[in-house]
């Protein structure tokens, strides 16, 4: 997205980029005197060595989080579907296939979800002091899928060397 933003943006607008129901970009007027601060942390990240695993790990984690959220919201998701968080929110709002509800309705829905207890399933358990995330075993359990189905849906399409080393 950063490459698209650098080509499609202009100085007085931010970009709203959506991938659902299709890729679309629209300018969002910035308030007067708005300022963005761009900083370099000087942290070196060797993308050649770690991107494949790190990126795939984040993709798997967000797809599993979407399934867990869908379960919390009482939505039915077919076992073999890799639903996204955006699609979960859309289904929760009754958004039809190929229909875009727009950024304002989406923002309102997210605000309602944040105020409800439906998102608590995605929050870290404060009693687990040793780590804030969940283990692979916990992810499988929370997804509601069998281990074999989970592996087929979420791990079969990525190089799972890294994932198999996780608990």
User: In this structure, which long-range contacts are made by residues 85-92, counting pairs with CB atoms below 8 Å and at least 24 apart in sequence?
Assistant: 86/18, 86/19, 86/20, 87/20, 89/113, 90/20
13 forms bridges with which residues in the sheet?
29
- Name the residue with tokens 């995605």: 122
Strands (DSSP E) along 24-167, which ranges? 24-29
Q: In the annotation, is 2 catalytic?
A: yes
How far does CA 104 lie from the centroid of its chain?
Answer: 19
Q: 107: closest CA among 18, 42, 34, 31?
A: 18
Catalytic residue among 2, 10, 97, 104: 2
Distances (CA, A) of 107 to 86, 87, 103, 111: 11, 14, 6, 6
Catalytic residues: 2
């Amino acid at each position: 997205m950063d490459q698209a933003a650098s080509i499609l943006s202009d100085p007085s607008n931010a970009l709203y980029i959506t991938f659902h129901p299709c890729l679309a970009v629209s300018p969002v007027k910035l308030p007067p005197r708005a300022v963005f601060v761009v900083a370099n942390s000087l942290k070196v990240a060797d993308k050649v060595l770690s991107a494949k695993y790190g990126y795939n790990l984040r993709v798997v984690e967000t797809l599993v989080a979407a399934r867990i959220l869908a379960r919390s919201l009482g939505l039915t998701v077919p076992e073999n579907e890799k639903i996204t968080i955006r699609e979960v929110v859309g289904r929760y709002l009754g958004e039809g296939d190929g229909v875009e509800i727009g950024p304002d309705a989406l923002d309102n829905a997210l605000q309602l979800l944040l105020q409800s207890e439906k998102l608590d399933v995605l929050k870290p358990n404060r009693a687990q002091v040793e780590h804030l995330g969940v283990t692979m075993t916990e992810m499988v359990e929370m997804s509601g899928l069998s281990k074999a189905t989970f592996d087929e849906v979420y791990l079969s399409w990525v190089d799972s060397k890294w994932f198999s080393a996780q608990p």
